[in-house]
Amino acid sequence: MKRFIPIAIAAISLYTPSALADMNYFFHGKYGTLTVDDPDGSVDDGDDFSWELRTTFDGNSRGSRTFVTFGSIDAEIDAGVNQIGQEIEGFRLGFGYERNFPLTSVFDVWLGASLNYSDLEFTNRQTIDGDGFLVNDFGSRDFSGIGATLHLDTYMDLSERFVLGVGAYADIPIESDGLESFGIRFTIGTR
């Protein structure tokens, strides 16, 4: 995490005052499926209920923008026979770019990608037998690494200042032993 902070400060410092004046804010509620690449064995897919805050910088370019994200990850996967159950907590920081593809005067579609840093903790890593008794306890493990996110969102104007959106996302680990998820997200944001 400490090595990521100077990169974040340097990236934010590149924005001009005019770009900072054109910032917008978004809150994403995400629901999907997550997959864990566990070094100790197989893991069933789990449910991804998470949230993300995003700040966009429109600057002087029409139809495209850069953004910064911060998101929380908090999930639980049930243990099974030969399937490692675990609890996952952590956060994700990202920097990205997205492009607008207007559909109508009411709807906009934004296609984007970001490079992310994740800091995750996997706890209560266990397997059980057919009767539900503990077979293996693998102990906790930590993961810090780089990943990518792809998203496609569409927005509808609620007012001159606010938008409501729905979209799809895919979080892809670049380094192994990470977390992969995909699903839908619901958004409320400013314009």
Residue 8 phi, psi (nearest 5): -65, -45
Residue 157: which CATH number?
A: 2.40.160.20
Does 3 fall in a domain? no
Q: How many CB atoms lie within 10 A of CB 163?
A: 19
Return the pLDDT at 95: 96
Task: For residues 119 and 135, give the distance between their C-alpha atoms in angstroms, rounded to a whole number.
Answer: 28
8 belongs to a structural domain: no
pLDDT confidence of residue 1: 47
Q: What is the pLDDT of residue 175?
A: 80
The pLDDT, as a whole number, for residue 30 is: 95
Strand partners, 9: none
In a domain, 156, yes or no: yes
Domain residue limits at 103: 29-190
pLDDT of residue 21: 59
Work out how many domains the chain is built from and give that number: 1
Check residue 55 and give its pLDDT: 93
Taking the chain (191 residues) in consecutive chunks of 10 residues, what is each chunk's mean pLDDT?
Answer: 50 50 88 91 90 84 88 92 93 94 82 94 93 91 93 91 94 85 94 78
Q: Where are the beta strands (DSSP E) in the chain?
A: 23-36, 46-57, 64-77, 85-102, 107-128, 134-137, 141-157, 162-173, 179-190
For residue 167, being part of any structural domain is answered with yes
Number of Cβ within a 10 Å radius of residue 6: 9
Does 18 map to a domain?
Answer: no
Find where tokens 């207007």 sit: 102
Query: The whole model's pTM is what?
Result: 0.81
Asked whether residue 17 is assigned to any structural domain, the reply reads no
At residue 13, the pLDDT reads 47
Is the CA virtual torsion 4, 5, 8, 9 positive or negative? negative
pLDDT at 45: 92
pLDDT of residue 48: 87
Is residue 19 included in any domain, yes or no? no
CB 178 within 8 A of CB 145: yes
User: 4 lies in a domain?
Assistant: no
